[in-house]
Amino acid sequence: MGPAESLAQRIGLRLRHPTLVHQALVHSSYLHEHPDVASAHNERLEFLGDAVVNLAVSEALYARHPDDDEGLLSARRAAIVSTAGLARLAGRIDLGDVLLLGEGESTRGGRRRPSLLASAFEALAGALYLDLGYPATRDWLLRLAAPELASDASILTLKSPKSRLQEHTQRTSGERPQYRVLDATGPDHEKTFRIEVVVGGRVLGSGVGPSRRVAETAAAAQALESLVAETGA
């Protein structure tokens, strides 16, 4: 049984064209190392799947949260279709286990990397859409994301630390947080960033991560903790 068939069995869907799902599992690093085995990687399917996932989630949130305004609906959707959110959905079906990665990408932990898992999940959604159609793909997505879709979390818990910090500082001082890279170490494919966040000339927090976005988010979270400790708010 190939990886596409194995995944289909795991998620309970009967494929008409397994080659589409197989392509969704092919990372560009695998194609580069095995051009004679794989005919294409999954990036075109990722492009399509991004639209499929966004539409399915938007429809469901609109129907299930009739009292939410546009801002709250957008925040709920962003929490689900963010890199972290999609990686969480990918983890529920053990998608990383069946991805076809190049040797280097695999040894560097690509099967657990949130950005890679999120992209592969979108590619899978695109492949299922082409193979099974929108209704079947939508229904599968909604079953998988049911806990997030049903959540009544407040907008504060849905917003990212960076958004919450910016709203706080603009409300209290009119200043916008500035993020400064302190250093970036390691090879290009495996860098570690250290970033600090500054508001009005004052360093409020710092963070470390494998990308600028992750490090900035960690810095913003530390800044919020510092502000709460200072104000008690």
Write a three-state SS string for 67-98: CCCHHHHHHHHHHHHCHHHHHHHHHHCCHHHH
Catalytic residue among 33, 36, 43, 50: 50
* Catalytic site includes residue 36: no
pLDDT for 58 beyond 90:
yes
Average model confidence (pLDDT) across the chain: 88
Q: Active site residue: 105, 122, 148, 216, which one?
A: 122
Q: Which pTM was predicted?
A: 0.71
> What's the pLDDT score for residue 1?
67
Is the pLDDT higher at 228 or at 14? 14
Report yes or no: 111 and 102 within 8 Å, Cβ to Cβ: no
143-189 tens-digit pLDDT:
999 998 988 766 656 677 888 888 888 888 888 999 999 999 887 76
Instruction: Please tell me the predicted confidence (pLDDT) of residue 136.
Output: 96
Question: CA neighbours within 13 Å on the CB side: how many for 110?
Answer: 20
Using an 8 Å Cβ cutoff, are 178 and 168 in contact? Answer: no
Q: Does position 233 have pLDDT exceeding 60, yes or no?
A: no
Q: How many CB atoms lie within 10 A of CB 192?
A: 14
Residue spans in the chain of domains classed CATH 3.30.160.20: 161-231
**202-209: strand order across its sheet:** 178-185, 192-199, 202-209
User: Is 152 annotated as catalytic?
Assistant: no
| Nearest CA-CA partner of 121 in 87, 151, 84 | 87
CA-based nearest residue to 102, from 43, 35, 187, 22:
35
The reported pLDDT for the residue numbered 179 is 96
Fold for the domain defined by 161-231: Double Stranded RNA Binding Domain (3.30.160)
What's the rounded Cα separation, in Å, for the pair 166 and 189?
30
**Where are the domain boundaries for CATH 1.10.1520.10 in the chain?**
3-152
- pLDDT tens readout for residues 108-144: 887 888 888 999 999 999 999 999 999 999 999 999 9
Report residue 105 as tokens.
Answer: 């990408």
The yes-or-no verdict on residue 100 having pLDDT over 80 is yes
**Structure confidence at residue 162 (pLDDT):** 86
Architecture label for domain 3-152 = Orthogonal Bundle (1.10)
